[in-house]
Homo-oligomer: A and B are copies of this chain.
Amino acid sequence: MAHYKLAFLGFGNVGRALAELLLRKRVELAERYDITFSVTGIATARHGTVVQPAGVNLAAAIELLQTKRSLNLITKSLIANSFDFIYKCGADVLFENTPVNHQTGQPAVDHVRAALELGMHVCTANKGVVVHAYRELSELARSKGRKFLFESTVMDGAPIFSLFRETLPAARLLAFRGVLNSTTNIILTRMESGESFNQAVQYCQEIGIAETDPSADVDGWDAAIKVAALITVLMDTPFTPQQVERAGIRGISPQMIAAAKAEGERYKLVCSAEREGETIRARVAPERVPISSPLYAVEGSTSIVEFKTDVLGDLSIVETNPGPHTTAYGLLADFINAVRER
């Protein structure tokens, strides 16, 4: 039996869902994987920070935050900032879940680097880190004999990065194509039922999946950063979101949607990339897809990616009903994969 001390840097919806999942899977982790754990630190942005080497009562911490009280009620921890937290949390595994910074990946990149330098494994759902520092952080992790894993950055907890890393050894990814942004997919689906673009955006804001400023989704930036992450890791080629040819869905009118529908087609914000000789061409753009395409049936928050490799026919992964709990599962899977004996 191996014991691991865990720390949470960032403890929003995903962090709390992960904490609940860890509690639910505690017995299974011990019985199937010989893994036990304690939580030695939790840092939140607005509800305090706690560090307890003997182990935080995780259920009590979740309860405090659900009622919007501060973790400082558990114990008074003298923690100056996020880096001080990393140095003092004493963890074996850091879950880095601070907000995504699409432009620079900071400060998450520095958080991950600091934790790896200290000999921790790091699991993150933060796309910015992958796009801005995948190669450097992976090499640092390797040199330290630790793991830097990030399954939840694309398609939530559905296995994408681990699919290639673990189940498709020696496969070469030639191209991929998919629907990777749920907000735009919900907007397009609702416009098919007659809503205007603005009404559909407002709906997404009401159910909490679109921001007050929806431009990251509707202009294709979220999709482009996911495409860049897939290329960077799975094609082993550093690629920025700016390198992705990008068109959002603001130009898609109700008339265009109706015209497509009349011909048995639907608009989807399609993400794609392919090798062209030594270069890679990547694109995010609205496309009309016919009923024969696997992308046609992808509704609402469902996402899909089709992979073309040199060893199989097309292989598609489809995930329905994502949410904080599925992102949390990706982080749990990363943790187990980082430490388990095989």
Q: Closest B residue to A292 by CB, please name it.
A: B297
A55 interfacial contact with B, CB 8 Å = no
Q: Is the CB of A168 within 8 A of B313?
A: no
Quick check: which of A183-191, A277-285, A316-324 contacts chain B, the rest being far away? A316-324
> Chain B: which residue is nearest A295 at the CB level?
B297
Q: For residues 118 through 134 of chain A, which have their beta carbon under 8 Å from a beta carbon of chain B?
A: none
- Cβ B317 vs Cβ A313 within 8 A: no
- Nearest CB to that of A336 among chain B residues? B169
Roughly how many angstroms separate A18 CA and B186 CA in the complex, as a whole number? 44
Which of the listed residues A156, A170, A314, A316 has the most CB atoms from chain B within 10 Å of its own CB?
Answer: A170
A312 at the binding interface (Cβ < 8 Å): yes
Interface string of A26-38 (1 = CB under 8 A from B): 0011001100000
- Given A162-B167, A170-B25, A170-B33, the answer on whether A321 and B329 have CB atoms closer than 8 Å is no
Copies of this subunit: 2
Residue A311 is within 8 A (CB to CB) of chain B in the complex: yes
Query: Are B33 and A337 in contact, CB atoms less than 8 angstroms apart?
Result: no
Chain B residues positioned under 8 Å from A220 (CB to CB):
none
Q: Is the CB of B162 within 8 A of A340?
A: no
B residues within 8 A CB of A156?
312
Which residues of A from 280 to 310 have beta carbons under 8 Å from B? Answer: 291-294, 296-297, 306
Could you write out 18 A-B pairs with CB less than 8 Å apart? Answer: A21-B311, A29-B170, A33-B169, A156-B312, A159-B163, A162-B166, A163-B167, A169-B332, A170-B336, A171-B333, A291-B291, A294-B294, A311-B325, A313-B321, A313-B326, A314-B318, A314-B320, A315-B318
